[in-house]
Amino acid sequence: MAMEEYRLTATLLDTLGIAMCVFDAQDCSVLWNQSFLRFFPEHDGHVYAGEPYGENLRRFYRSRLPPEELVNIERYVADGVQRNRTQTRPFVFQHRGRWFRVSSVPEPGGGRLRIWISLSTAEAWQYDTRTPETVLRDLQSHDAMAMLENIGEGAVVLDADQHILAANDRFVQMYGAATKETVIGMTYAELVYGLWDETGMLEQRALYEQDLTAALLDGASFAGAPFEVPLPGPRWVRVTMNHTAGGQSYAIHADISASKQHELELRAAEKHARELANRLRLETRRLEESEQRLRTTFTQSGIPSLVALPQGGLIDVNDALCALLGYPRDDLLRLGLADVMSADAAALAGTFAQDAPAQAPRFFDTEVSFIRRDGSSGAGQFFCAPVRDAAGRCQHVVGHLLDITQRKSAEKAHARVMQTLRQEALHDGLTGLRNRRSLEAELRDLTTRAGTHGLLFIDLDGFKDVNDVAGHAAGDEVLREIAELLRQAVRSGDTVARLGGDEFVVVLHHCDAAQAMAVGAKITRILAAREFPFSGQVFHVGASIGVRIFDGASTSAEDLMRDADAACYAAKRKGRGRVERHPAS
C-alpha cells in the first residue's frame, strides 16, 4: 500500500473511531492516526516515524506496570514484539480501564498494519453472563464432562480469582497431579510454581524464571493470544485463555515440548546464521587481505549457504547447500535463486539492489519453500543480507537456508489430529450427522435467544426387519441413506442429528408450527416412497414423527427432547407413518 493510501485509510478509520498504526519490516513506526493517540495517550508527543516498536512498547508497559514488575519490562517488550511479528488472529486486552481487540495484518515487504477497536465489557467478555457456580454445574453434567475429555488437549476452567473450578484428565496428566481433586481450588500460578518447587531443580528454574514471570503475569492478560509456560523436564505447554462476563477463565493447554525443542534448536541455528552473516560481511570488507579466510568460513559452515547476484544468479554455494538440494556444485551454480526457492525469496534478494547507497544495511529472514533436484519440495527459513561496496551499492547477497520441513510437517499433522478429534466429539461416526452431545448444546443455546423453532423427533418404522433379515451391514447402509434423505429434506441452515439406533432429530430454525408439521409430513412421504433392496428382498422403512415448537422462553433442552419423544410415541400409537404435535407447542 502506498503512503498516500495509508494516510487516506488512517483518516477514514479516525471517522469510525478505530486506531491504526503501520510498522515496517524492521518493526519501526511508519504512521498512525489520531485514534491511536487517543486510545494510548502515553504515545502522544513521543512516537515518531522510524521509532522501533520496542520503544513504543516500553512506554506502553511503563504506563500499566506496578513498580515491582518494572524489572521484567524488557522481557515483556521482547514478547510484545514477537506477538506483533507472528499474530494471526485478533486478541483482547485491557488498558487504562478500556477493553480493546487488536488485529495485525502483514503487508508486502514484511511490514505490519495493526488496528485497535474499542469494545464494551460485554463484547470483550464474549457475552457469557453465567456465574462461576453455573459454569461448574454445567461442566459437571455427564455430556459436558465427556466433551471436555474429548477435546484432545488439557482443559481447565478457573473462577474470577484464577482458582481452578474443573479440569479434564489430560490437564491432570500434563501437570503430574494425582487426581482432579488435588488441583481444584488452586490457582494456575500456584500449580506451576508448586510443580517447580517439588522437583528441586534450582538451576533449571533460574534459567526459566523470566519465562515463568512473563507467562503468568503478562501473557495471561491478553485473552486469545497464546502464551508459553516452561515446566520441569524441560517441558513446555502453550496456554490459550479466554474470559467471560462472569469473571471465569477458560483455558486450553497443549503440550508443545517437541515443537519447542525444534524452535530452540532453530533459534540457536538462527543465531549462528546471523553471526555467520556478520562474519561474512566483515570478511568481505577485508577480502583483499584475507580472501582465503573468507573461503574457509563459508565452505566449512554446516549451514546451507549461498552467494548470489542481486538479479538472482548463484555465484557460490557451499557443500551443505549442495547436500540439502541434492545437486553437484557445478550444476547448482548454473541455476538461480528462482530455480531452487519460491519466487518471493528471489524477489526479496532483488530488493537489495534497489536500495539507495546511503540506506542502512538490511537483513531479512522469511519462510520459503525450496525445490530439490528430484523435484520434491521442503520448507525452509531463509536468511539473506547484502554485501556492499565502499559506495554502499549492493554487490551480491549472502543467504542461509535452514531446513524446517520436519517441524512444519509435525505442526500440520498435529492440526489434522486435533481437527479429527473435534469432528469425532461432535458428530455421529456412522452417518456423519451431528450427535446427541452437539444437538443438546445447540438446543440450550436456542432456548436463550429470541425466535421460534421446530424440533422433530423421528423414529423409524420397520427398520428392525432390515437388521433381522438382511444383517447389520445392510442396516448401517439404510441409516446412511436415510441420513442423506433427511439432509435433502430440510434447509441448509437447519440441523440434522442422529441420537443412536434408528432415532433422528431435526431442528428447524425460525419456523412456525404449520411449517414444522409440513416438513414432518414431507419426510414421511419421502421415506414411504423409498425402497431398500437387499439380498433379493425389498424393504420399506417409514417414520413416526413428534413435533415440539419452542422459543427463547422455553423450558430446558432435556424437556424439549422428552416432549418431542412423547409426541413421536403418540404417532406410533395412532398407526405409524404420521406426524403428531406435542400439546405444549
Give the cell for residue 318.
557451499
Radius of gyration of the chain, Cα coordinates, nearest whole angstrom: 31
Measured CA to CA in angstroms, residue 144 lies from 140, 141, 180, 426, 577 at distances of 7, 5, 16, 12, 35
- pLDDT tens for 131-150 read 445 544 554 454 445 555 66
Q: Which of 59, 97, 100, 91 lies closest to 76, judged by CA?
A: 59
* pTM for this model (two decimals): 0.40
Give the cell for residue 130.
453465567
- DSSP H stretches of helix in 365-471: 405-426, 436-446, 463-470
Which residues, in sequence order, are bridge partners of residue 319? none
Quick one: average pLDDT of 539-563?
91
CB-based burial of residue 44 (10 Å sphere; 0-12 exposed, 13-18 middle, 19+ buried)? exposed
Which residues, in sequence order, are bridge partners of residue 401? 382
CA atoms within 13 A on the CB side of 26: 11
Quick one: average pLDDT of 4-20?
80
Measured CA to CA in angstroms, residue 64 lies from 29, 43, 257, 278, 388 at distances of 21, 13, 32, 37, 43
Tell how far CA 424 is from the center of its chain.
19
Q: Which of 294, 369, 383, 375 lies closest to 327, judged by CA?
A: 375
Which amino acid does the sequence have at 484?
A: E
Q: Which of 379, 383, 380 lies closest to 399, judged by CA?
A: 383
> For the chain, give me the number of helices (H) and strands (E)?
22, 22
Question: What CA–CA distance (Å, rounded) separates 511 from 499?
Answer: 22
Give the cell for residue 399.
543467504
pLDDT at 464 > cutoff 70:
yes
Average pLDDT over the chain, rounded to an integer: 83
Yes or no: domain 262-408 corresponds to CATH 3.30.450.20: yes
| Most confident by average pLDDT, 24-38, 99-113, 262-276 | 24-38
Which residue reads 517441558 in cell numbers? 235
Q: Is the bond preceding residue 234 a cis peptide, omega within 30 degrees?
A: yes
- pLDDT tens for 422-445 read 666 678 889 999 998 889 889 988
The DSSP-derived string for 38-101 is HH-GGGTTT--TT-BHHHHHHHHHHTTS-GGGGGGHHHHHHHHHHHHHH--S-EEEEETTEEEE
Q: Can you give the pLDDT at residue 510?
A: 94
3-state secondary structure of 425: helix
Give the cell for residue 565.
419423544
The DSSP-derived string for 495-535 is EEEEEETTEEEEEESS--HHHHHHHHHHHHHHHHH--EEET
Tell how far CA 528 is from the center of its chain.
46
- Residue 433 main-chain phi, psi, to 5 deg: -75, 165
- pLDDT tens for 161-179 read 888 888 888 888 888 888 8
- Residue 550 main-chain phi, psi, to 5 deg: -145, 165
Question: What CA–CA distance (Å, rounded) separates 339 from 204?
Answer: 45
Give the confidence band of 276 by pLDDT, cuts at 50, 70, 90. low
Contact at 8 Å (CB) between 284 and 323?
Answer: no
Q: Which of 580, 583, 573 lies closest to 461, judged by CA?
A: 573
Q: What is the DSSP code (8-state) at residue 360?
A: P
Measured CA to CA in angstroms, residue 293 lies from 113, 214, 223, 288, 377 at distances of 43, 43, 52, 11, 33
**Axis-axis angle for helices 53-62, 73-86 (nearest 10):** 130
CATH architecture of residue range(s) 132-255: 2-Layer Sandwich (3.30)
| Most confident by average pLDDT, 26-40, 146-160, 198-212, 297-311 | 26-40
Quick one: average pLDDT of 352-362?
63
The DSSP-derived string for 461-483 is ESHHHHHHHH-HHHHHHHHHHHH
311 or 576, which is more confident: 576
pLDDT at 496 > cutoff 90:
yes
Which residue reads 502506498 in cell numbers? 2
Question: What CA–CA distance (Å, rounded) separates 544 from 564?
Answer: 11
Yes or no: domain 3-124 corresponds to CATH 3.30.450.20: yes
Quick one: average pLDDT of 401-417?
77
Residue extents of the structural domains in the chain: 3-124, 132-255, 262-408, 428-581
Q: Return the C-alpha torsion angle 581, 582, 584, 585, nearest 10.
A: -30
Q: Which of 216, 246, 243, 242 lies closest to 228, judged by CA?
A: 216
Give the cell for residue 52.
522501533
Which amino acid does the sequence have at 454?
A: G
Q: Can you give the pLDDT at residue 135?
A: 46
Q: Can you give the pLDDT at residue 420?
A: 61
- pLDDT tens for 213-268 read 888 888 777 777 788 899 998 888 988 887 665 566 778 888 888 777 777 777 76
| Most confident by average pLDDT, 174-188, 221-235, 388-402 | 174-188
Intrachain domains 262-408 and 428-581 with the same fold: no
CATH number of 428-581: 3.30.70.270
| Most confident by average pLDDT, 15-19, 447-451, 519-523 | 519-523
Contact at 8 Å (CB) between 509 and 455?
Answer: no
Give the cell for residue 271.
543465531
